[in-house]
Structure 1
Amino acid sequence: MLTSYIYLHGFASSPQSTKAKDLSDRFTKIQIKLKTPDLNAGDFSHLTITRQINQVTTEFPDHSVPVTLIGSSLGGLTSAHLAQQNPQVQRLILLAPAFGFLSHWLPKLGSEKIQSWQQEQYLLVYHYGEGRELPLSYNFVTDAAQYQESLLQRPLPTLILHGKQDEVIPIQASRDFARSRPWVELIELDSDHSLANVTAQIWQAIRSFCQLGNDYRA
């Protein structure tokens, strides 16, 4: 049966990121379309995980078509929660998924910055896709707080690829997630959060996991 493939980029990134374009090109070469929606939706300032979930759901094809989600960083976390809610998602591929995102990110900001963010409602965040700082609403934090990993209990084939030198989301977050979920396969790579030096290994793992042989026809 045909499968729909959708890629979810990371926080403050875009469909023009190196990973998104690399995977899109590789899928195109084997004649499969990889959808790469822009999760900024023209309004990064009001980004929330809930908004991302709702947006990606509108990209889903007819209910009879299974969906494979490929999510990077915050896109990975969003993919996992989308799959928990939606049985149409039949496979998950998570690249350095942002498990425990707030617990890793907020301490780096410091309590003073967080307090002023709460008071002023907006914080300037560097947006890699735009190449400049953009304001982000504090609603992002309050919304993200409800998406706990403990809720992710749907047993569906899941592949996680995570760099052992990840400086943004420690690989331990993925190890902890995989340990209590036997349906999850974790591949540890010699890389950092960008995974930029292991794109060929990532593609090989995706092809194997999705059984995309040379003779595959979309």
Structure 2
Amino acid sequence: MTVYVYLHGFASSPRSRKAQDLRDRFAALNLTLHIPDLNQNDFTHLTLTRQIQQVCAGFPPDQPIVIIGSSLGGLTAAWVGEQCPQVDRLVLLAPAFEFLNHWVPKLGDKLLREWQSGKPLMVYHYGAERLLPLNYQFVVDCADYDSARLQKPIPTLIMHGIYDEVIPIQASQNYAYLRPWVELVELESDHALAEVSQAIWGSVTQFLF
């Protein structure tokens, strides 16, 4: 029996709107959508490596896995799929390809230098609803993951908003262009994809079922 997993985004949680909406839609089909908390009660020491290891360790043995990932959860899903043979389909919502290239420059030189010197960066965490510190090791770790190495031909559906200012749609267009097993759906939305949940579900059901 296929196991369905949802991976939430950066500074988010299993209680996010997309996570809960998709959980309810799966439940209506008598299916369980597993939503691990990637924060692990320690957002400060978050890394992409930690997320990948957590997700892989949570898989039941010998069952096919479908992962739906949002933003950084989408990037995590892509790397989990590359490493874990059980993953047979991916659905990526505004995946954070080229994440560091888009996010880090927005911090500004002064804040970036302070962060590099050891002062934690204060990030608004939408799950905790407050500012939380994040160590610079997050960036160091992410830099080790070059998306060009994602070459496993897993059937993949990407949905990305054309008005996304967090991760521009060009990142997903570049990714899909070089990988014929990837289908890209461009939506009239921004990074949150908040107002296109029905369109997302329609594409998800067509792709998965």
Q: Aligned residue for 1:35?
A: 34
Q: Aligned residue for 1:8?
A: 7
CA distance in 2, matches of 1:37, 1:142: 24
CA contact (8 A) 2:8 2:72 kept: yes
Q: How does 1:12-31 map to 2 (within 5 A)?
A: 12-31=11-30
Does residue 67 of structure 2 align to residue 69 of structure 1? yes
CA distance in 1, matches of 2:119, 2:97: 24
What SS is found at the alignment partner of 1:91? strand
RMSD across aligned positions (CA): 0.7
Q: TM-score, structure 2 length as denominator?
A: 0.99
Among 131, 136, 146, the alignment partner of 1:148 is 146
CA distance in 2, matches of 1:36, 1:86: 18
CA distance in 2, matches of 1:49, 1:57: 12
Q: Aligned residue for 1:48?
A: 47
C-alpha displacement of 1:182:
0.2
Letter in 2 for 1:150: A
CA distance in 1, matches of 2:33, 2:118: 39
The percentage of aligned residue pairs carrying the same residue is 58
* C-alpha distance after superposition, 1:1-24 (max 9, x if no partner): x10000000000000000000000
What SS is found at the alignment partner of 1:32? coil
Letter in 2 for 1:77: L
CA distance in 1, matches of 2:8, 2:119: 25
CA distance in 2, matches of 1:120, 1:85: 31
Q: Aligned residue for 1:209?
A: 207
Does residue 157 of structure 2 align to residue 159 of structure 1? yes
Among 169, 178, 182, the alignment partner of 1:184 is 182
What SS is found at the alignment partner of 1:154? coil
Letter in 1 for 2:133: P
Letter in 2 for 1:173: A
Question: Runs of 4 or more off by more than 4 Å in structure 1?
Answer: none
Gaps of 5+ in 1: 212-218
Letter in 1 for 2:32: K
Gaps of 5+ in 2: none
What SS is found at the alignment partner of 2:117? helix
* C-alpha distance after superposition, 1:90-132 (max 9, x if no partner): 0000000000000000000012111100112411111111111
CA distance in 2, matches of 1:69, 1:146: 22
Q: TM-score, structure 1 length as denominator?
A: 0.95
Letter in 2 for 1:100: E
Q: Aligned residue for 1:214?
A: none
Question: Between Structure 1 and Structure 2, how many residues are aligned?
Answer: 209
Q: Aligned residue for 2:127?
A: 129
Letter in 2 for 1:177: Y
CA distance in 1, matches of 2:184, 2:194: 18
Letter in 2 for 1:4: V
